[in-house]
Amino acid sequence: MTVAVETGLWQLDPAATTVALKHKTMWGLVTVKGAFTGVAGQGEVRPDGSAVGTVTLDATSLDTKSAKRDEHLRGADFFDADNHPELTFAVRGAELRGADAVHVDGQLTVRGISRPQPVTARLAGSDASSVTLEAEFTVDREQFGMGWNQLGMMRGLTTVTATLRFTRRDA
């Protein structure tokens, strides 16, 4: 069964949205997990069924449950939040393929550096007033100028997990 999503404008519901990340540190022995509490976004479903939109994360809102680590992640070694306060995922195009797979042609911008970021999301729920998407993808932080790796402790890719709930916006 294919679910059709209503055309029109959609607003991200931050209270029902989570964007989290995890990265292995200490030579792969410890996984650091965190979530962004400052999330905003909007989208448009076009009459042909394709979609465009933007999800924006407040770089200072990452919470890993360690104040000292969070301060370091906001600093110049990582997100450089003073100069780049937002991380942006711009959806250039998205289309439903099959029952619940959504192919997303996206562009991720971190620290002012933009890179293509294709994602396959799952349409987790849809009705006349809301749409929920779930996605998981990996990011190579070095492509965004975050090469800090003291004593080789941080290796591999960062995994981003997102549950995004959009609600219909009145035109």
Provide the domain limits for residue 127: 8-168
**pLDDT digits over 17-72, tens only?**
999 999 877 555 678 899 999 999 999 999 988 899 999 999 999 999 999 989 98
* Paired residues of 108 in beta bridges: 89, 115
Question: By three-state DSSP, how is residue 89 classified?
Answer: strand
Rounded to whole angstroms, the Cα distance separating 133 from 164 reads 5
Our count of domains for the chain comes to 1
Domain for residue 3, yes or no? no
Domain for residue 69, yes or no? yes
Number of Cα atoms under 13 Å in the Cβ half of residue 128: 1
Domain for residue 2, yes or no? no
Domain for residue 147, yes or no? yes
Domain for residue 78, yes or no? yes
What's the CATH code of the domain at 105? Answer: 2.40.128.110
Rounded to whole angstroms, the Cα distance separating 22 from 24 reads 7
Domain for residue 40, yes or no? yes
pTM of structure: 0.87
